[in-house]
Amino acid sequence: MGKMRAAICTKYGKPEVFQLKEVEKPVPKDNEVCIKIYATAVTASDIFIRSSNVPLRLKIFMRIMLGIRKPRNPIIGLVFAGVIESTGKDTKRFKPGDNVYGLTGYTLGTYAEYKCMKETDSTKGCIALKPSNISFEEATAIAYGGLLALQHIEKGNIQTGHRALIYGASGTSGTFAVQMAKHLGAEVTAVCGASNLEMVKSLGADHVIDYTTQDSLPEGIKYDFILDSVGIYKSSKLKKACKDTLSPTGKYASIDDGALKLDSRRLDRIREYVEHGYINPVIDRCYPLEDIIEAHRYVEKGHKKGGVAITIT
Ligand SMILES: NC(=O)c1ccc[n+]([C@@H]2O[C@H](COP(=O)([O-])OP(=O)(O)OC[C@H]3O[C@@H](n4cnc5c(N)ncnc54)[C@H](OP(=O)(O)O)[C@@H]3O)[C@@H](O)[C@H]2O)c1
């Protein structure tokens, strides 16, 4: 049996719970592929999982899914980008050497050098070929932010000339949503903090609003699509005001409406958008796996710009 390096999380708690260890390298079952992970990410979800510091209802649900007293899989981590190292005999979609990206769902396990998973979509993950024109680190931001945002944007029926408002435009899902709404022809208003206004403008936002200093939206304007991309646990007076600016036929969505769909066909569409240059990944910082504690401390502050990646060499 081979060995691999992994960041181990043997209990829920502060970022300091992580320990770097050598563990058994997984071997793919007949219906699994083995991915050599080159990059993972520290996402908002990873913070919820590691800290278990979430409202009670969510905590109960998460503990049932992930482990009651401690993480069932001590290797947490949800997002990966890497290369197919080997394939089980019953797999069909990938071959060794394919560059891939995706999410692992409730099985977690990406804070490590290798991960084995089924190649078919389920709550245990989804996997697709990675966009060829971006790095592994960038692919992690696009996988998580893209899947989160696109499932709502696709239902939003954004048409050329529509007004779209993205609340939380500077986060992982928000930076994707701004670019996607713009690509679909919308006039985009992006809401974020003062230090990120220029960044979201550079992504194509037509108008920017600082939620830390403004409590209301421009008088008389109605929006055809509003996406709350920070979710139900972060709010402001401005976010509450947003709901009153929806046009009668408009669509309001929160990134927390329903579960994140692990859909490899959506990952395929995201790859095409990226390869056509419609969407550019936004990466705030990259840390080596050895600095996973530092990376969690940073993301926990709640102001990452785009995604935070972990490089695994
Ligand atoms: N439904 C599901 O299954 C599911 C799964 C995973 C995640 N989620 C949700 O998705 C959310 C978004 O995750 P993410 O990674 O895209 O973003 P994130 O990392 O949670 O958001 C980071 C951004 O949020 C902005 N922000 C913080 N507080 C804000 C406020 N009160 N108003 C406006 N912006 C604020 C910050 O902007 P500034 O720095 O500019 O202030 C920062 O750029 C998660 O928090 C979670 O609730 C849902």
Please write the tens of the pLDDT for every residue from 275-311.
999 999 999 999 999 999 999 999 999 999 999 999 9
> Maximum Cα–Cα distance for the chain, whole Å?
66
pLDDT of 44: 96
Domain with CATH 3.40.50.720 in the chain: 146-254
What single-letter DSSP state applies at residue 200?
H
For residue 191, give the ligand 1 atom closest to its CA. 33
Flag whether pLDDT at 2 surpasses 80. Answer: yes
Nearest CA-CA partner of 183 in 212, 139, 150, 229: 150
Percent of the chain predicted with pLDDT > 90: 99
For residue 307, give the ligand 1 atom closest to its CA. 15
Half-sphere exposure of residue 159: CA atoms within 13 angstroms, side-chain side: 4
Task: Indicate the top mutation candidate among 61, 104, 140, 234 to test ligand 1's pocket, ranked by most ligand atoms within 8 A of CB.
Answer: 234
CATH 3.40.309.10 fits 146-254, yes or no: no
Percent of the chain predicted with pLDDT > 70: 100
Q: Which residues contact 267 (CB under 8 A, 6 or more apart)?
A: 101, 102, 126, 127, 128, 143, 146, 147
Task: Indicate the top mutation candidate among 240, 255, 296, 305 to test ligand 1's pocket, ranked by most ligand atoms within 8 A of CB.
Answer: 255
Flag whether pLDDT at 203 surpasses 80. Answer: yes
pLDDT of 66: 95
Q: Residue 234 corresponds to which tokens in the numbers above? A: 């972060």
pLDDT of 1: 73
For residue 194, give the ligand 1 atom closest to its CA. 40
Half-sphere exposure of residue 211: CA atoms within 13 angstroms, side-chain side: 23
Across residues 170-182, what is the average pLDDT?
98
Selected from 3.40.50.300, 3.30.70.260, 3.20.20.70, 3.90.180.10, the CATH number assigned to the domain covering 3-130+282-311 reads: 3.90.180.10
Q: In angstroms, what is the span from residue 169 Cα to ligand 1's centroid? A: 9
Buried b (16+ CB within 10 A) or exposed e, 120-154: ebeebbbbbbbbeebbbbbbbbbbbbbbbbbbbbe
Q: Which residues contact 283 (CB under 8 A, 6 or more apart)?
A: 137, 138, 141, 306, 307, 308, 309
Residue with tokens 């708690």: 13
Q: For 246-271, what is each residue's pLDDT tens digit?
A: 999 999 999 999 999 999 999 999 99
- Per-residue confidence at 119, pLDDT binned at 50, 70, 90? very high
Average confidence score pLDDT of the chain = 97
Q: Which residues line ligand 1 (CB under 6 A)?
A: 43-45, 145, 148, 167-168, 170-174, 191-193, 196, 211, 229-231, 233-236, 239, 255-256, 259-260, 302-305
Looking at the whole model, is its pTM more than 0.75? Answer: yes
Q: For 210-231, what is each residue's pLDDT tens digit?
A: 999 999 998 899 999 999 999 9
Nearest CA-CA partner of 73 in 110, 22, 119, 30: 110
Report how far residue 167's alpha carbon sits from residue 151's, in angstroms, rounded to the nearest whole number. Answer: 16
Nearest CA-CA partner of 103 in 230, 255, 263, 259: 263
Domain with CATH 3.90.180.10 in the chain: 3-130+282-311
Q: Which residues contact 230 (CB under 8 A, 6 or more apart)?
A: 167, 168, 171, 174, 239, 255
Q: Is the torsion defined by CA of 200, 206, 211, 213 positive or negative?
A: positive
Q: For 26-70, what is each residue's pLDDT tens digit?
A: 999 999 999 999 999 999 999 999 999 999 999 999 999 999 999
Q: Which residues contact 274 (CB under 8 A, 6 or more apart)?
A: 131, 133, 134, 142, 280, 281
Q: In angstroms, what is the span from residue 97 Cα to ligand 1's centroid? A: 34
